[in-house]
Structure 1
């Protein structure tokens, strides 16, 4: 996890000179749990990763992006099904997580879409996925690659 020690120091400095203290959403309060993905069929189709992102702090945090050497275009996407039963998927943009809350990235909903794979996703391997937050902080998690038919982190 990338540390940004100057943000707390800046808040103290601003208080000492009598200026208002901005509310820094601290990505150090983010915990990523139960990360997993499925094996891919080659590199021509995108992969996906799933996890729970939990904010243990007392300020909201905003997930702004993803990075991994496995894919050239990792993005948070959301799958939806309308009243007629037609499913669609589109980029979700930034995701704000309230204090004490969590967001599930799971099949059929929000998920990390891994487009333009650089190599196949092979069962039994892992890959690093870095979540970037609006405060400039990052959280990196090793994502295990499960079987192609996996339905959750337990396989």
Structure 2
């Protein structure tokens, strides 16, 4: 079988049996919260747990909110010299039956280019977008600027 025949066979198999990819209907968003901001000049932040209750992995590919023009998931890492860096995550996979915590010091939501201040006691809507196009929407309460979580 030549290379062209193999490629045609693989493409044909995907046409008959596309890869299984679960979506947002299998994800539960838990314990979402944000901190109040100082105006709109600095980014906001949000935290939550994304729990995949399905039998297949799901992939988070984006976020949407009217509060910020560029909501995105960032990862925080610290190197051997103690330098901490944040980097944008294009996608985050959540294994079947597992959860991913978006928490201070690790993965988290950055709310870049805030459209209004984040005021303690208010809330906003955040949609988590999955690779299959489905979304999970959550109402995110805004806690005090020094909050360390919903229980504090």
TM-score range, shorter chain: 0.7 to 0.9
Q: Which residue of 1 aligns with 2:123?
A: 126
In the TM superposition, 1:23-38 aligns within 5 A as: 23-38=20-35
TM-score computed with the length of structure 2 as normaliser: 0.87
Task: Measure the CA separation in 1 of the matches of 2:64 and 2:124.
Answer: 11
Task: Measure the CA separation in 1 of the matches of 2:120 and 2:24.
Answer: 30
**Residue 34 of structure 1 aligns to a residue in which SS?**
strand
TM-score computed with the length of structure 1 as normaliser: 0.86
**Is 2:82 aligned against 1:76?**
no
**Residue 143 of structure 1 aligns to a residue in which SS?**
strand
List gaps (5 residues or longer) in structure 2: 1-15
**Residue 75 of structure 2 aligns to a residue in which SS?**
strand
**Is 2:111 aligned against 1:114?**
yes
**Is 2:43 aligned against 1:54?**
no
**Is 2:144 aligned against 1:147?**
yes
Q: Which residue of 1 aligns with 2:84?
A: 87
Deviation at residue 25 of structure 1 after TM alignment: 1.1
What count of residue pairs does the alignment treat as equivalent? Answer: 137
Task: Measure the CA separation in 2 of the matches of 1:29 and 1:95.
Answer: 15
**Residue 28 of structure 1 aligns to a residue in which SS?**
helix
Larger mean CA deviation between 63-72 and 20-29 belongs to 20-29
**Residue 114 of structure 1 aligns to a residue in which SS?**
strand
Deviation at residue 154 of structure 1 after TM alignment: 1.5
Q: Which residue of 1 aligns with 2:135?
A: 138
List gaps (5 residues or longer) in structure 1: 1-18
Provide the aligned C-alpha RMSD in A.
1.0
Deviation at residue 152 of structure 1 after TM alignment: 1.0
